[in-house]
Chains A and B, each alone.
Chain A
């Protein structure tokens, strides 16, 4: 099975407003699929439809090769773990008791609890009442609950919400390790481009309910033309000379540094030769990639505030 999740023009409409429109998702098995989009783009709604929590207005969903409908629902849910919206919990119970409830509902032995608690590093807080947990701890408990039963598919909706920087880093590392350690496929949503960049192998970008881009992270990066940043002993003169030589250079008006909008070897080589001919000293020469923010801006034509 190449794709663990596929959707065919998946649509959700409330009244006349499309929250999700004709979405064709392909989530490869074994991937970490980053589902990217600004707040309110339809990420949560899509994930809720994948779990059967929301009913699609149109289109089809196939998970594990089976169509998501009433008769397959339990079979699919049995192998799926999820953390949707804010972490669910019963505040008057301890973390461990919360996990016991999930174990009971999933029909798996409680011996698994220790291992998932260890995975999310919560062994020491397991007997505290959850209402006294911090948001970050609740989030980890939510992830632990999702991991119970070693599901083949994990759906995580903004899992780093409410975590401190150290916690975010830890959560990322954890998510990255899941496909290898447990053979899971992870669908993780985020509104942070940098976050997806660090975790995902594949990316889907959604905005206003529509899918703008979907492919591997590598191919996304290919979309971003690389460029070369140049600093010299006399940036102003270098700019004039290089422009005259018809090289694609720009000058940053603030810092004064030069940008060569190409990473072609021949052009870089010429650049160096010309500068040395005119006796201009070369201080820095570095390759720079277009940031995901730039790519997003290019795709949506809209500046996204992060």
Chain B
């Protein structure tokens, strides 16, 4: 019992689901495990005093600050295409920072189970597959905080900087969807690695290396780029630079709506990656 009780937070998490289980069983004696809502609540309780939200919010603040710094030497011409520039540069930055940020969030949340050795206990309280899903959804919450904050933050920054370019809500919506989708697939990999890895080295290495790959994959030929998951922040960027026309003085930018076909293909592949990850996790013995 000592191991399980090793963390203060753990103690709460250990006690609560058990209590909840009794409650649910009271209502429906044959229910095999706690209900989804309760499990979600249990996850929430594990995180009290952990301040996980600081990770995405901190990164968000840094990235927006960074963007703000670049606005200061904008001229009229730039102000007229400011949002395009924002969306473009943000997807580039996402490809470096999001993989690391997601690996930190996933590892932080999963490692408390590994450290506290709570998987054994949790398996008796909830179905492993469901535990995997709920935990993932929980991590997803932080990703959505990040990408939503990023999208809104860009709009507000643009307003504050006096951009003359009209806001295209559809493009911002697509930016939000694309960045969240790519992040979600990367998160599913991090999630699986963090739950399977006993020492958390591997998931963090993958996170750091993924950031590297994402950054550099933009220099790759398009066919190779498509094979690298971390490069999709760039591929699905809703604004692009026309490098042919761009000179030292002016950057020619344009919006490029999400390619529906390949985006749906990406989502399907992403779902597949998630399921493979779940399958690998379920094979692990506790």
B28 at the interface (CB under 8 A from A): no
User: What is the CA–CA distance of A260 and B199 in the complex, to the nearest angstrom?
Assistant: 64
Chain B residues, CB < 8 A from A164: none
Chain B residues, CB < 8 A from A86: 2-3
Could you mark each residue 137-169 of chain A with 1 if its beta carbon is under 8 Å from any beta carbon of chain B, else 0? Answer: 000000000000000000000000100000000
User: What is the CA–CA distance of A90 and B253 in the complex, to the nearest angstrom?
Assistant: 56
A85 at the interface (CB under 8 A from B): yes
Chain B residue at smallest Cβ distance from A161: B2
Chain A residues, CB < 8 A from B198: 91
User: What is the CA–CA distance of A86 and B4 in the complex, to the nearest angstrom?
Assistant: 12
Chain A residues, CB < 8 A from B2: 85-86, 161
Chain A residues, CB < 8 A from B199: 92
Q: Which of B2, B3, B199 has the most CB of A within 10 A?
A: B2
Could you mark each residue 82-93 of chain A with 1 if its beta carbon is under 8 Å from any beta carbon of chain B, else 0? Answer: 000110000110
User: What is the CA–CA distance of A87 and B198 in the complex, to the nearest angstrom?
Assistant: 19
User: What is the CA–CA distance of A91 and B115 in the complex, to the nearest angstrom?
Assistant: 12
Chain B residue at smallest Cβ distance from A85: B2
Chain B residues, CB < 8 A from A92: 199
Could you mark each residue 189-201 of chain B with 1 if its beta carbon is under 8 Å from any beta carbon of chain A, else 0? Answer: 0000000001100
Chain A residues, CB < 8 A from B3: 86
Chain B residues, CB < 8 A from A91: 198
Within 8 A of A (CB), among B173-206: 198-199
Chain B residue at smallest Cβ distance from A162: B2
Which bucket holds chain B's interface residue count?
under 10
User: What is the CA–CA distance of A107 and B80 in the complex, to the nearest angstrom?
Assistant: 71
Within 8 A of B (CB), among A57-94: 85-86, 91-92
Minimal beta-carbon separation of A190 from chain B (angstroms) = 15
Chain B residues, CB < 8 A from A161: 2
Within 8 A of B (CB), among A75-133: 85-86, 91-92
Could you mark each residue 1-17 of chain B with 1 if its beta carbon is under 8 Å from any beta carbon of chain A, else 0? Answer: 01100000000000000
User: What is the CA–CA distance of A177 and B127 in the complex, to the nearest angstrom?
Assistant: 49
Within 8 A of A (CB), among B1-51: 2-3
User: What is the CA–CA distance of A91 and B198 in the complex, to the nearest angstrom?
Assistant: 10
Minimal beta-carbon separation of B177 from chain A (angstroms) = 42
Within 8 A of A (CB), among B192-231: 198-199
User: What is the CA–CA distance of A85 and B3 in the complex, to the nearest angstrom?
Assistant: 10
Chain A residue at smallest Cβ distance from B199: A92
User: What is the CA–CA distance of A270 and B229 in the complex, to the nearest angstrom?
Assistant: 96
User: What is the CA–CA distance of A161 and B1 in the complex, to the nearest angstrom?
Assistant: 11
User: What is the CA–CA distance of A92 and B2 in the complex, to the nearest angstrom?
Assistant: 20
Chain A residue at smallest Cβ distance from B3: A86
Minimal beta-carbon separation of A240 from chain B (angstroms) = 52
User: What is the CA–CA distance of A86 and B117 in the complex, to the nearest angstrom?
Assistant: 14
Chain B residue at smallest Cβ distance from A87: B2
User: What is the CA–CA distance of A161 and B2 in the complex, to the nearest angstrom?
Assistant: 10
Could you mark each residue 238-275 of chain A with 1 if its beta carbon is under 8 Å from any beta carbon of chain B, else 0? Answer: 00000000000000000000000000000000000000
User: What is the CA–CA distance of A85 and B1 in the complex, to the nearest angstrom?
Assistant: 12
User: What is the CA–CA distance of A176 and B42 in the complex, to the nearest angstrom?
Assistant: 46
Minimal beta-carbon separation of B174 from chain A (angstroms) = 46
Within 8 A of B (CB), among A207-246: none
Chain B residue at smallest Cβ distance from A131: B198
User: What is the CA–CA distance of A92 and B201 in the complex, to the nearest angstrom?
Assistant: 14
Minimal beta-carbon separation of A242 from chain B (angstroms) = 50
User: What is the CA–CA distance of A161 and B199 in the complex, to the nearest angstrom?
Assistant: 27
Minimal beta-carbon separation of B97 from chain A (angstroms) = 31
User: What is the CA–CA distance of A86 and B3 in the complex, to the nearest angstrom?
Assistant: 8
User: What is the CA–CA distance of A158 and B164 in the complex, to the nearest angstrom?
Assistant: 73
Within 8 A of A (CB), among B134-183: none
Minimal beta-carbon separation of A203 from chain B (angstroms) = 25
User: What is the CA–CA distance of A91 and B3 in the complex, to the nearest angstrom?
Assistant: 14
Minimal beta-carbon separation of A87 from chain B (angstroms) = 10
Chain A residue at smallest Cβ distance from B6: A86
Chain B residue at smallest Cβ distance from A91: B198
User: What is the CA–CA distance of A86 and B2 in the complex, to the nearest angstrom?
Assistant: 7
Minimal beta-carbon separation of A139 from chain B (angstroms) = 11
Minimal beta-carbon separation of A160 from chain B (angstroms) = 14
User: What is the CA–CA distance of A91 and B199 in the complex, to the nearest angstrom?
Assistant: 10
User: What is the CA–CA distance of A161 and B3 in the complex, to the nearest angstrom?
Assistant: 12
Chain A residue at smallest Cβ distance from B2: A86
User: What is the CA–CA distance of A295 and B126 in the complex, to the nearest angstrom?
Assistant: 45
User: What is the CA–CA distance of A278 and B210 in the complex, to the nearest angstrom?
Assistant: 97
Minimal beta-carbon separation of B286 from chain A (angstroms) = 13
Minimal beta-carbon separation of B196 from chain A (angstroms) = 15
Minimal beta-carbon separation of B104 from chain A (angstroms) = 23
User: What is the CA–CA distance of A92 and B199 in the complex, to the nearest angstrom?
Assistant: 10
User: What is the CA–CA distance of A198 and B48 in the complex, to the nearest angstrom?
Assistant: 45
Minimal beta-carbon separation of A213 from chain B (angstroms) = 28
Chain B residues, CB < 8 A from A85: 2
User: What is the CA–CA distance of A92 and B198 in the complex, to the nearest angstrom?
Assistant: 10
Minimal beta-carbon separation of B118 from chain A (angstroms) = 15
User: What is the CA–CA distance of A60 and B199 in the complex, to the nearest angstrom?
Assistant: 41
Minimal beta-carbon separation of B277 from chain A (angstroms) = 24
User: What is the CA–CA distance of A85 and B199 in the complex, to the nearest angstrom?
Assistant: 22
User: What is the CA–CA distance of A71 and B272 in the complex, to the nearest angstrom?
Assistant: 62
User: What is the CA–CA distance of A302 and B135 in the complex, to the nearest angstrom?
Assistant: 45
User: What is the CA–CA distance of A254 and B198 in the complex, to the nearest angstrom?
Assistant: 57
Give 6 pairs: A residue, B residue, CB < 8 Å, sorted on A.
A85-B2, A86-B2, A86-B3, A91-B198, A92-B199, A161-B2
Closest 6 CB pairs of A and B: A86-B2, A86-B3, A85-B2, A92-B199, A161-B2, A91-B198
